[in-house]
Structure 1
């Protein structure tokens, strides 16, 4: 009975998300198109299953971020307030669901007892508020980034950045996936065999660059474009080093936590046993480190490279967000 009730709740929320997307599109009359382009029944089933089968929520989180990013561009204050209120209510309802994103905290009570005050700094009023967050796997960095962006009412970019890069390259999304540039980063590994026809095709498509290099350089251009034109929060993608090299003001943050705490967090969120979680974390940390250091020449996670390094296990998700807000000197509720 309880499972049936939960599924009804998922379906109701899926309908609200679909309707919100449609209403945002109607108010904007945007040429960019809607987040959900399929028919209603199929989309509702997909969203419901997403909530039911993917409790870590990273896919749903990106869909919601796209809708809220569009809603924040609405010029009419009354319409913007109305739709953002509905968005907030949907988000609160989702947070009440079991095992949804942000619901599995990472607070280590013993370490939290040792916290000290965090420094406060101001950001120039002439610059856009651009936050770059790098994180170790399992430190709840994505949950923190998403909720922080939402509280600050700024756009959140993660997977959608890569999707825009793919459109620029006119490449098939299935051919070069986001994970290929991180979990399967192969700059130092053995080259896969490619036919001469494939090599010539890619030589033309990517102007003589490898797919990974072409994606990175196009992504770099896009990140700079975003930072120059809007307030936003960018997860990973070497954004801190890219903006630093292009002399674009930003706040860089590195989020991590002790390995044993991250292991437990991954076990809780991904339903892995300890052996699986340890193997997963080591692989992901290694790939992130390789990718970052190859393209930036900087050491990944080195404290000197960031404005703030924070141990999320000392604070938990909510308090980590508050610490970062104090750094930004923001009074957003």
Structure 2
């Protein structure tokens, strides 16, 4: 404890001296960061370094010094001062009570996402991007264009079609998994149990799908297919709980959720589907409920909750083309580090 206090005093002295040096180099009338007497200022700085809840105040003080240092016109003076600043900052962050000691990383998520990006993708890992999207946010358009820009495969309804082929299910007998939502809940717990025909259908499905309902059989086969694909190729997949499926199977991937303000999405639905406002709004609300219930039913998580994704993106802020460009540049920057 005593050694830490001594270190804080020593760093406080260096910070105070650096503030003086920056002020002298800049020659600005804006004034120094610390204007009190040396002893009082050093004592206050040391106390800030010793008390973690007040760490943000120290960070703000250091920011003031660095901001001023960056205005130094003489390149040699600027380089010398910024070197001192960087050295001091590293030592402050290494203190056990520093603001730099509160890491937020979730190691389990990092193994599948951010740490994998930092290390670059190994020859055994493929670039897999899972995109969830709210209806009307142009998520599909962005996903398709991003796959084209990255020159990797794009999957949406193809996943559903392949699973139906595997199970030999008539496509007309069930809706695409991306739009099931409410129907799944109703099929499992409400429909069919009030009639003999309903019971017969359930028994038939039980035999055909090894004790699973048709909907569950499709989901689990879809999960197997996604995991198999993840070992063979780079791709973007739209929806279908792919982010959670891959995470549960410890497969590296990047999860993105694309959305936009409700009214903006309504107007896009009106334009794309040639609907009036009332019908577009009703369709949007219905589809959002379906996606939310489907995602929660099979994952136990809240659809669209920022905590469940690596990146959440407001497409209305940029439009389709620029959204693709921003995401692509962000991915390239991370993978090149």
Q: TM-score with structure 1 length normalisation?
A: 0.60
What is the DSSP-based 3-state SS (H/G/I as helix, E as strand, rest coil) of the residue aligned with 1:309? strand
What is the DSSP-based 3-state SS (H/G/I as helix, E as strand, rest coil) of the residue aligned with 1:300? coil
Relative to structure 1, is the Cα distance of residues 181 and 280 closer, same or farther in structure 2, using a 3 angstrom cutoff?
closer
Query: Contact (CA 8 Å) 1:169, 1:205: kept in 2 or not?
Result: no
**Match 1:233 to one of 236, 251, 261:** 236
**Match 2:258 to one of 255, 259, 263:** 255
What is the DSSP-based 3-state SS (H/G/I as helix, E as strand, rest coil) of the residue aligned with 1:272? coil
Aligned residues: 214
What is the DSSP-based 3-state SS (H/G/I as helix, E as strand, rest coil) of the residue aligned with 2:237? strand
Matched, 1:155 2:153: yes
More helix by share: 2
Query: Contact (CA 8 Å) 1:144, 1:320: kept in 2 or not?
Result: yes
Q: CA deviation at 1:303?
A: 0.8
Distance (Å, rounded) in 1 between the aligned partners of 2:198 and 2:265: 42
State the Cα RMSD in Å: 2.3
Please list, as runs of the form range in 1=range in 2, the aligned pairs for 1:35-74 lying within 5 A after superposition.
none
Query: Contact (CA 8 Å) 1:138, 1:281: kept in 2 or not?
Result: yes
Aligned position for 1:182: 180
Aligned position for 1:49: none
- Which stretch of the first structure deviates more once superposed, 318-327 or 134-143? 318-327
**Match 1:143 to one of 136, 141, 144:** 141
Q: CA deviation at 1:183?
A: 5.4
Matched, 1:269 2:266: no
Query: Contact (CA 8 Å) 2:178, 2:291: kept in 1 or not?
Result: no
Q: Could you report, residue by residue, the CA deviation over 1:246-277 in whole angstroms, capped at 9, with x for unpaired residues?
A: 11000000000000100111111111111011
Distance (Å, rounded) in 2 between the aligned partners of 1:323 and 1:156: 18
What is the DSSP-based 3-state SS (H/G/I as helix, E as strand, rest coil) of the residue aligned with 2:184? coil
Distance (Å, rounded) in 2 between the aligned partners of 1:198 and 1:224: 30
Higher gyration radius (CA)? 2
Aligned position for 2:311: 308
Q: CA deviation at 1:190?
A: 2.8
Distance (Å, rounded) in 1 between the aligned partners of 2:301 and 2:325: 28
Flag the structure with more relative contact order, 1 or 2, with Cα contacts below 8 A and sequence separation at least 6: 1
Relative to structure 1, is the Cα distance of residues 179 and 307 closer, same or farther in structure 2, using a 3 angstrom cutoff?
closer
Aligned position for 2:127: 129
Matched, 1:325 2:295: no
Q: Could you report, residue by residue, the CA deviation over 1:166-189 in whole angstroms, capped at 9, with x for unpaired residues?
A: 111121222123168525523156
Q: TM-score with structure 2 length normalisation?
A: 0.60
Distance (Å, rounded) in 2 between the aligned partners of 1:196 and 1:304: 40
Q: CA deviation at 1:199?
A: 2.5
Structure 2: gaps spanning 5 or more residues:
1-113
Please list, as runs of the form range in 1=range in 2, the aligned pairs for 1:108-123 lying within 5 A after superposition.
122=118, 123=120
Query: Contact (CA 8 Å) 1:181, 1:212: kept in 2 or not?
Result: no
Distance (Å, rounded) in 2 between the aligned partners of 1:330 and 1:162: 33
Query: Contact (CA 8 Å) 2:246, 2:253: kept in 1 or not?
Result: yes
Q: Could you report, residue by residue, the CA deviation over 1:50-107 in whole angstroms, capped at 9, with x for unpaired residues?
A: xxxxxxxxxxxxxxxxxxxxxxxxxxxxxxxxxxxxxxxxxxxxxxxxxxxxxxxxxx
Distance (Å, rounded) in 1 between the aligned partners of 2:218 and 2:179: 8
Aligned position for 1:191: 191
Query: Contact (CA 8 Å) 2:182, 2:290: kept in 1 or not?
Result: yes
